[in-house]
Amino acid sequence: MSQQHYAASEKFCKRMNNFYRSLQAIVALGLTWALGPQATFAQEAPLPKTMRMVIPFAPGASNDVFGRALAQRLGPRIGANIVVENKPGAGGAIGAADVVRSAPDGSTLLFTSSAIATNAAIQRNLPYDPLSDVAPVALVARSGLILVVNNDTPYKTVPQLLQAMRDPNNRISYGSSGVGSVNHVATELLHSMAGTSAQHVAYKGISAVMVDLLGGRLQVLLSTVASARGQLQAGQLRPLAVSSLTRSKFNPELPPIADFVPGYSAEVWWGVFVTGKTPRSMIDRLNSEIRAVTMIPEMQELFAREAAESSPLTASQFRDHFVAEVGVWRKVANERKISAD
């Protein structure tokens, strides 16, 4: 091949290479344009502009306070109008059933407490399957419990109380806000792990429990910190320990019960659920947005007033936590013969 022909051939190859590179760029741009909206849809998981947040408890308590505060801040963040509805009854089961029946489009949220896990353990005839008909979205906040005794009792430490409750002839009574409440199942878990016993007295609400605890008709209570705060500040009850695995920043002077009963822990938590067939992309989007809201200083301050902290769990991690907790409470309910039916 002559030098002239070689040069011409080289120019032709360069032009063809440039052409193919340009063609590849055009094809790539076309694919980006064609797939871009779908990719954006999957990533952003658009949410409805009008939503309901069902709170399955009466107005005024921590469920209602936390839920309304979350809705107020979540709505503007995701560009939605969130209407809060209280649907109390059956320990939260009525409101949960309403959400289960809703369309799986993210338009109906359930803001509830750990009662949804204890209900799954003690109510055998729930109108929904708690492990498949509802989908955990975000664990909003969590709080340990505090073990308190009446001031007139002789118990100054957890070991003293445990020793007394190991006496098969003991006359110790403890209260709860109802069969299957966190006070109830958390105390029965302690009995199961520590080899203790005490007479359970169920009430309709924590206020009545406090009245009888102060009056000496009850001796022991595993309470939320918020429920016992007033009596503790007034010196009317004696705190012995907390139910978290480690010391609480809200009561750092108190040891964990786990120091004396290894592995023991119990907590109350608040979280968001949706109906079970809701798309995973929508659940993950809601989880991300809710977690961002819980980090707002005003929300952190609100949680702290209930001795609670926000949680960083993803939707998948929350589901694992929920499934594990249902398993724990079902085991306790079977062993201790707890049933609401």
Residues 311 and 213 in one domain: no
Residues 159 and 255 in one domain: yes
At 20, list the tokens. 């193919």
H-helix or E-strand spanning residue 237: strand 237-242
Using the 3D structure, point to which of 218, 238, 259 is the last residue of a domain. Answer: 259
At 133, list the tokens. 């008909």
What is the domain-level CATH number for residue 328?
A: 3.40.190.150
At 111, list the tokens. 């803001």
Q: What are the beta bridge partners of residue 271?
A: 112, 139
Q: Which amino acid is at 267?
A: E
Residue with tokens 């907390």: 242
Considering the domain boundaries, does residue 21 fall inside one? no
* Per-residue pLDDT, 46: 87
* Per-residue pLDDT, 6: 39
Residues 249 and 276 in one domain: no
Using the 3D structure, point to which of 211, 227, 259 is the last residue of a domain. Answer: 259
CA of residue 270 relative to chain centroid, distance:
4
| Residues 249, 111: Cα–Cα separation, whole Å | 26
| Residues 218, 238: Cα–Cα separation, whole Å | 13
Residues 153 and 238 in one domain: yes
Q: Which amino acid is at 215?
A: G
Considering the domain boundaries, does residue 162 fall inside one? yes
* Per-residue pLDDT, 259: 98
Residue with tokens 């952190």: 300
| Residues 197, 186: Cα–Cα separation, whole Å | 13
Residues 79 and 134 in one domain: yes
Domain of 109, in residue numbers: 50-143+269-336
Considering the domain boundaries, does residue 109 fall inside one? yes
What is the domain-level CATH number for residue 172?
A: 3.40.190.10
| Rama region for 256: left / alpha / beta (φ>0; ψ in -120 to 50; rest) | beta
At 225, list the tokens. 């910190």
* Per-residue pLDDT, 340: 85
pLDDT, averaged in runs of 10, over the chain (341 residues): 44 46 42 38 73 96 96 97 96 96 97 96 93 97 98 98 97 96 97 98 95 97 95 97 96 97 98 97 97 98 96 97 97 94 68
CA distances from 106 to 94, 135, 308, 316 (A): 19, 11, 27, 17
Residues 234 and 246 in one domain: yes
At 148, list the tokens. 């308190």
Tens of pLDDT, residues 253-307: 999 999 999 999 999 999 999 999 999 999 999 999 999 999 999 999 999 999 9
H-helix or E-strand spanning residue 16: helix 3-44
| Structural domain count of the chain | 2
Considering the domain boundaries, does residue 82 fall inside one? yes
Residues 64 and 160 in one domain: no
Considering the domain boundaries, does residue 39 fall inside one? no
Q: What are the beta bridge partners of residue 238?
A: 149
CA distance from start to end of the chain: 97
Using the 3D structure, point to which of 192, 226, 259 is the last residue of a domain. Answer: 259
